[in-house]
Every structure is written in C-alpha cells, then in structure tokens.
Amino acid sequence: MMATLPLETAPYPGEGRGPGPDQSTLDPGLRRGTSYDASRARLETYFDRTARDAWERLTSDAPVSRIRATVRAGRDRMRATLLDWLPADMRGLRLLDAGCGTGALAVEAARRGADVVAIDVAAGLIAIAQERAPQDLGTGRIDWRVGDMADPALGDFDHVVAMDSLIHYRRADIVAAVAALAARTRRSLAFTVAPRTPALALMHQAGKLFPRKDRAPAIVPVGERGLRRALAPLQADFRIGNSQCVSGGFYTSLALQLVRRG
C-alpha cells in the first residue's frame, strides 16, 4: 500500500519499547500478533473507500495543493533513490514491489527488463496502476496482484522494494514483515519507515486540525537506532547497505537497504 500524507494523519502511538524480537518473531512465515492484520485491514479500507481519488490525483500530473505538492516531490525523490539502488539492467531478475500503489516503481523496473510482481492491499489502487501501465514494457513484465506483500505464495525474488508501505505498522510488525520478505530475497531488500524526528512529530500534531473524515490511518514513527538493533538477527545473512532520508515540506521517509551476504 502506498504511504499517506503525513500532515493528514491522526495522532500516532509511540514506538514500542523494550528489546527487539526473538527468533520466533523472525520466522519466515511471519508469525505475528493481530496488530499487523488489524493495521492491514484499516489500510485496505482507507485506500479503497476513502482515499482512492486523492491518491489517483496525487500520483498523477494533476494540480494539487502546496502541501500535497511537497508530498508528491518527496515521493518522487524517494522512488528515484530506491530505483538507483537497483541494477540498471534487470533482465532475468525477479522483483517484488511490495505495496506498489499506483505502480510507478513497478513500471520503471519492468522497463529495465525485470519480471515484476506488484502487489497492494487496495484493489482500487491496483486498478489505477493497471489503467496507467504502458502496453509496451520491452522485455519486462508486471503481474499485478491484490493481497498481502508478505504472502509466501508469491515465491522468491532477486530484489524486493517496499516504499512507504510499512509506515503504518509498529516496529515489531515492521521487523517481522522485513524478515519474512528477506527469507525470500536472493540479493537485496529496500524498505522505508517514518523516522522518529521532532519535525515529523510537529507535522503529525498539526494533522489533528484536519477533519477526522480526511485523516488517514496513523503513521507510526520508528527510531533508526532501535530499528537497526531489532534487525540484528538478520545480519547473519544480510548486511545493511545504503540508507537515505528524504525530507522536504510534508514528506519525511527513511530508506534502508539489506544486501544478502556472499
């Protein structure tokens, strides 16, 4: 699923305290509590019933407000960053666009020759993505799916990208989802989170001023140091590669890349 507009979110809970997850939390089958499923259900409802038109406009070239323009620009920068971390020639490679939204990253990866599985919880966003996708993708292809990005039935991938699709989950759920994806990743996995910063906290407080009906599901800020510690059990098989924070106006997102060792 795609990210929501930071200013328009409801107040968010604090990051979970305490130690990172144990090995059972990092099971490839994504053992998790009901919090992951509950968050996913809220996102599905929001993006299919409330925000489809707004996201169709935001991810197009249509005029938007100054606030939304900063979100659009930030998302464009983040997408470009994540694409820079992928090979320029992806022929013969399989990529999972986990939370593909309206499909811009999936299309670019396919144009590089990748065999892309693009999945999102929101059927409405997938419909927009399919309408926008060009007929000619060269040697690449896209398999559009509606469902859970962590579904093991999707198979294995050379690369996985989850852009702004984990920002509504608690740290423990983020780590469990990343671990489940990493278990099926042969080369690299890149994902983004909402970093815990004073500036972002102020934006979210300002979001309380918006009518409740216009608010998106809460974004959960995550401290980078705590997240890196929580990812430590994965480091026998992966090292942390690139990292990049993109911040401007009302968009702030932190990208981390895990690269399989050897």
CATH of the domain at 149: 3.40.50.150
Residue 128 lies in a domain: yes
d(CA 205, CA 217): 14
What is the model's pLDDT at position 177?
Answer: 96
What is the model's pLDDT at position 128?
Answer: 97
What is the model's pLDDT at position 176?
Answer: 95
What is the model's pLDDT at position 30?
Answer: 44
Residue 1 lies in a domain: no
Residue 233 lies in a domain: yes
Total domains in the chain come to: 1
What is the model's pLDDT at position 210?
Answer: 52
What is the model's pLDDT at position 37?
Answer: 85
What is the model's pLDDT at position 259?
Answer: 98
Question: pTM of the full predicted structure?
Answer: 0.84
What is the model's pLDDT at position 199?
Answer: 65
Residue 200 lies in a domain: yes
What is the model's pLDDT at position 248?
Answer: 92
Low-confidence spans in the chain with pLDDT less than 50: 1-32, 209
Residue 109 lies in a domain: yes
For residue 52, give its domain range. Answer: 6-260
